[in-house]
Structure 1
Amino acid sequence: MTVRALHHYDEIGLLSASERTPAGHRRYTERDLRRLYRVRALRALGLSLEEIAGVLDGAADDPESMRELLTAQLRRLDEHAELIGMLRRRIRGLLRQAGDSSGPDPDRLMTTLELMSVFETYFTEEQRERLAERRNALGGEGVEAAKHEWAGLVEEGLRLVESGVPAEDERARDLVRRWDALAGGFHPDGADGERTRAAARRMWQDNSAEIGGSLPWPVERMAGLVAYLEQARQAG
């Protein structure tokens, strides 16, 4: 403990020396030292000085009050741990996208961060967790295989659009079936999956330029393909 910290504890009434020397210096007794140990122990649990004062002055001998206080503190720590976990996953994702030791291109990095912000706007925290669980279940190889398959579907769809094949054509309907089946692997089952799909469609409709700008195909062509697929989907 530093002298400054002890003086601060004294100023706020958390810990005061019980005795003084003839020269006026603080003298801490065994009882004071025990209180200091308790202050330090509770501080290590993340409690504020105000909370610690309440514990030591009123609830130190009340197990129920102590239990409630520690339960609340544990809840706060759990929430903080979830936030830290999310940030760790986000940073790992950015590092993977960097592709090399030189770090991500600044424009690419900012675009990625912007898209993350968009993603969080349209999906709830629970939905993001479900999507992450499905992605983790696929594994790295599964995700890469899905990306490769999806790129092939995009190229196939663009050819259909540019060749003037009607959305009601069986080729278009077959494409949309395979497209939706592939996307389904990244969404939860049942009603939860329907909600995340709907959120994904809203996100694309509102931010097609930003999202499309991160893809290797021109935004206009991708927007046309998405509209074409929706027509084929409605055609059955």
Structure 2
Amino acid sequence: MGGRHEVGQRWSVGELARATGLTVRTLHHYDALGLVSPGERSARGHRRYTAADVRRLYRVRALRQLGLSLPEIAGVLDRTDGEPADLRRLLTAQLGEVRAQVARLARLESQLGELVAQLDAEDVPQPERFLTTLETMSMYERYFTEDQRDRLAERRDALGTEAVDAARAEAGTLIAEAIRHHRAGTPVTDPAVRELAGRWSALGALLGTDGPREQASARRFWDDHREEISQRMPWPADDFVGAVEYLRRARLAVEAG
């Protein structure tokens, strides 16, 4: 509205809609909710918006752009003159939600990047392998809470790509060694196996999967899907399943002393 409002100027709903770019329907909706209502009537009884109403409308639009709902905005406008702390609390909560959304988008970006890299690494992309990766991601999300996934993603981000790749390589090495010991029938109390179990635990601590809740979630995931998971590994399925269970027994033996 040109940024200038004369104290005595008044606007009809149509004039205000044209000046602000809002629809008449939106202004009527704001009126019905008690957010912004025409403050005066003309001599003929027509409702008119005042400069104070327009300033309130600007506040509504500003808060709406910050992602607040209309009921939240109504509460803010009703209280902030006397309680500015209310607005700060509400905006702080909104900031937390926005940051959580950013984190979720960052995880999605990482997942998509991995899938694209997987396809790029193959001369002839294999749709079956690609869809298998998507299926694994979907199963994973059913067993780990959003909070757990957030913490694991934060840990991966803190480590960086090179460290995560090194950790994956180390996991492959540990599985291969566990397969060798398992095939040979080495007792889980053997010093070499105890050292192997210690390295496995240290890897979990590095990646943030060593917490009781994370271990319980991972265990449920493994118990329900060990066959599908083992089919996707570079080792024979029986060897892989045996190695994972062997490492678990070795860790329990180390914890038991």
Cα contact 2:144–2:214 (8 A) shared by 1: yes
> Is the aligned partner of 1:82 residue 2:84?
no
Higher relative contact order structure (alpha carbons within 8 Å, sequence separation ≥ 6): 1
> Is the aligned partner of 1:204 residue 2:222?
yes
Distance 2:159 2:75 in 1: 50
Q: Deviations over 1:76-121 (max 9, x none)?
A: 3412421331232233233123216769865445544443444444
Q: Match of 2:117, as an amino acid?
A: G
Structure 1 residue 143: Cα displacement: 1.9
Q: Deviations over 1:118-160 (max 9, x none)?
A: 4444445554444334433432222222222222222232233
Cα contact 1:15–1:36 (8 A) shared by 2: no
Q: Match of 2:214, as an amino acid?
A: T
TM-score, normalised via structure 2 length: 0.68
Q: Match of 2:219, as an amino acid?
A: R
Change (3 A) 1:143 1:193: same
> Is the aligned partner of 1:176 residue 2:191?
no
Cα contact 1:18–1:27 (8 A) shared by 2: yes
Structure-2 residue corresponding to 1:149? 170
Q: Match of 1:74, as an amino acid?
A: T
Cα contact 1:21–1:27 (8 A) shared by 2: no
Q: Match of 2:113, as an amino acid?
A: L
Distance 1:80 1:203 in 2: 30
Q: Deviations over 1:38-57 (max 9, x none)?
A: 3323333333333434454x
Change (3 A) 1:218 1:90: farther
Distance 2:251 2:127 in 1: 38
Cα contact 2:79–2:86 (8 A) shared by 1: no
Structure 1 residue 17: Cα displacement: 6.2
Structure-1 residue corresponding to 2:38? 16
Equivalent runs, 1:50-89 vs 2, <5 Å = 50-56=71-77, 58-59=78-79, 61-62=81-82, 64=83, 66-89=84-107
Unaligned 5+ runs, structure 1 = none
For the aligned residue pairs, the C-alpha RMSD in angstroms reads 3.6
The alignment-based identity, stated in percent, is: 46
Distance 1:212 1:49 in 2: 51
Q: How many residues align?
A: 229
What secondary structure, in the 3-state scheme, does the structure 2 residue paired with 1:99 have?
Answer: helix
